Structure 1
């Protein structure tokens, strides 16, 4: 592997590609290119460590190591059984394979995974009369198999556990939002740590913690213990330590407020535990408060929230969204509010026209991330006051 010039693919959620591309450019990525649910770029080994540690909207980071065309299963196996696997995998290490297959020739990803596993095992048995073991739960080395029609790409997964597993979430509610999605939503909404932030239905606190991490410029993986690249043959522990020190030393001061409301004491207890694990009790305040009975306390204010979804939590939908709109209009003047929902029909009951609609996915649910701008007077009057 040429560690001075790596081709890198970074996976993300649909709708976050642009945000991720901007992150990667800021972190020093070269030849950054947006793809569907991914961003491709180039960089050296240090850059690979840096984006694993710092990129907020990355799900996993892959390094392609072998690409070829195969028109049948036998050719696929023959190519793989001759590949020098010991360059990436030691006999005493365990491995696992993730597969994605989009092909009319190869229709079963599980079967192709088994064929690749057989090729790796046969390679080592023929050369060393010993073989590495498979561990699907916690492997030392994780390979990614991608087949697009006849094109086969084998990559090393440099992250290991998906990067949304930040390490601070010990408790979660009925409908938790993914950490990567939460950070992407905040960045789409323009949160940069200037001003104040409110999540009026905070659940287990993910949006609050991600907002605080952005405000303080904390690395996304500050609480993570291990990355897969630490098991690679070329792992440079000293370089990774320097990168971590450099990123941690870029932490900023934050003088605004980050507040979360919820009406469920259990959810508030979950949020407080997660906030404590993230060591942010001094930064984030959560309290029992019904949003529909609240009034704006913070100026200026950005509001972002993930209301309960009818798919997982039963609510009286029409009444819920009407109350949300009434609260926006009556109690939160001059506020920018964003919410994510999977039910656009019900969201019409808010009674305000969203100024932006962005398609995102929360798990398998197709959603819209909606922006509402509340002004005390007309927009024209408000702009005159601001200027």
Structure 2
């Protein structure tokens, strides 16, 4: 008997192909890219593995019902008609997250309220008592998605966003989202076969995600819990098998991963996070000004960084980005240098031609992930101003 079912992994804009590739590599079936999501099929064990291992997913949803809905009364009756006792008890808690793209339903909070009313009324009518709503830490997260007049009801198997890996307890002023960092690394082609540098490492997110990719360590191995662990049908033994099997696929890494930051407080925070992630053997962090540094190896170097761009950190944009270009040209031959920035004007001051440009979003800020290939020796002269 086939125990596979459809699931949906939500992600960030521009990461759909990366997530689809991750899912196929994990063994998912019927993988199909959407907009900020990828649908796939798998069984309960695969759902556990997806939450544990996917680097570019922010949620894994399990659709349980889909239906046409005319208005709010129709929504109430169809939600009421579902078998909620299969998922909830009167003594458990739940929370509802609603997303609407519809002319009929225009307020997500109102939709959430109608769904909540239908569920609690069903329990009150059947058992004389009702489950409670707990927005902070529910036993069951319910996702309602209405597109036009089609409603899909899903269970949230992840709980808090999967970018919350569990290793980052200390952050700097402008930390980068862990899923965004992992996706940037995968977009950059990072595969752990060279040395790696983040010359403005902040709280160390790129360094940690780079080490986890290089060593094939499951992305969410440090998380304390997933929402599916509170489900009625949760199988602890199966989860333990999946977790151990995923850990057994880790590998050794024989290059250097190094981070610089000129702020002592950032260096302290980054070291603390690296230690939390259990990666101190693979990552070293130094207090150093990138603009006064030189490449630490004669071998090829993979550089990825999230430099300040004036949104939350005040800098002289022209001077700062000009210094990035000068430092790369003068001191970093044989380097693939990737930067993400939301200040597209600032890129003009780098003075190097980009070999790649990828549109992404850092939070709500439209950003560009750009690559500068710094060649060895005479090829350095081939660079032109933008």
Q: TM-score range by the shorter chain?
A: over 0.9
Alpha-carbon contact 1:3-1:45 (below 8 Å) kept: no
Please give the alpha-carbon distance, in whole angstroms, between the structure 2 residues aligned to 1:302 and 1:373: 10
In the superposition, relative to structure 1, how do residues 302 and 235 fare at CA in structure 2: closer, same or farther (>3 Å)?
A: same
Please give the alpha-carbon distance, in whole angstroms, between the structure 1 residues aligned to 2:112 and 2:128: 22
Q: Deviations over 1:94-146 (max 9, x none)?
A: 10011111111111000100000000000100111111111000111000010
Alpha-carbon contact 1:201-1:260 (below 8 Å) kept: yes
**Do residues 314 (structure 1) and 298 (structure 2) align?**
no
Alpha-carbon contact 2:329-2:380 (below 8 Å) kept: no
Question: 1:248 corresponds to which residue?
Answer: 247
Aligned-partner SS, 1:10: strand
Question: 1:59 corresponds to which residue?
Answer: 58
**Equivalent residues in 2 for 1:320-339, closer than 5 Å:** 320-339=320-339
Alpha-carbon contact 1:175-1:309 (below 8 Å) kept: no
Please give the alpha-carbon distance, in whole angstroms, between the structure 2 residues aligned to 1:50 and 1:374: 38
Question: 2:352 corresponds to which residue?
Answer: 352
Question: 2:276 corresponds to which residue?
Answer: 277
Normalising by structure 2, report the TM-score.
0.97
Aligned-partner SS, 1:143: strand
Alpha-carbon contact 2:163-2:178 (below 8 Å) kept: yes
**How far is 1:309 from its partner?**
2.6
CA RMSD of aligned residues (A): 1.5
Please give the alpha-carbon distance, in whole angstroms, between the structure 1 residues aligned to 2:128 and 2:14: 48
Please give the alpha-carbon distance, in whole angstroms, between the structure 1 residues aligned to 2:379 and 2:114: 62
Please give the alpha-carbon distance, in whole angstroms, between the structure 1 residues aligned to 2:377 and 2:295: 16
**Equivalent residues in 2 for 1:221-236, closer than 5 Å:** 221-236=220-235
Please give the alpha-carbon distance, in whole angstroms, between the structure 2 residues aligned to 1:139 and 1:380: 57
Aligned-partner SS, 2:171: coil
Please give the alpha-carbon distance, in whole angstroms, between the structure 2 residues aligned to 1:296 and 1:6: 50
Question: 1:115 corresponds to which residue?
Answer: 114
**How far is 1:283 from its partner?**
1.0
Please give the alpha-carbon distance, in whole angstroms, between the structure 1 residues aligned to 2:2 and 2:266: 45
Please give the alpha-carbon distance, in whole angstroms, between the structure 2 residues aligned to 1:171 and 1:99: 31
Query: Runs of 4+ in structure 1 displaced over 3 angstroms?
Result: 377-382
Q: Deviations over 1:276-335 (max 9, x none)?
A: 111211211000110011111122210000001311110110111000000111111111
For structure 2, list consecutive stretches of 5 or more residues without a partner in the other structure. none
Normalising by structure 1, report the TM-score.
0.96
**Equivalent residues in 2 for 1:54-203, closer than 5 Å:** 54-203=53-202
**Equivalent residues in 2 for 1:369-384, closer than 5 Å:** 369-377=369-377
Alpha-carbon contact 1:100-1:147 (below 8 Å) kept: yes
**How far is 1:380 from its partner?**
11
Please give the alpha-carbon distance, in whole angstroms, between the structure 1 residues aligned to 2:80 and 2:33: 33
Question: 2:292 corresponds to which residue?
Answer: 293
Aligned residues: 381
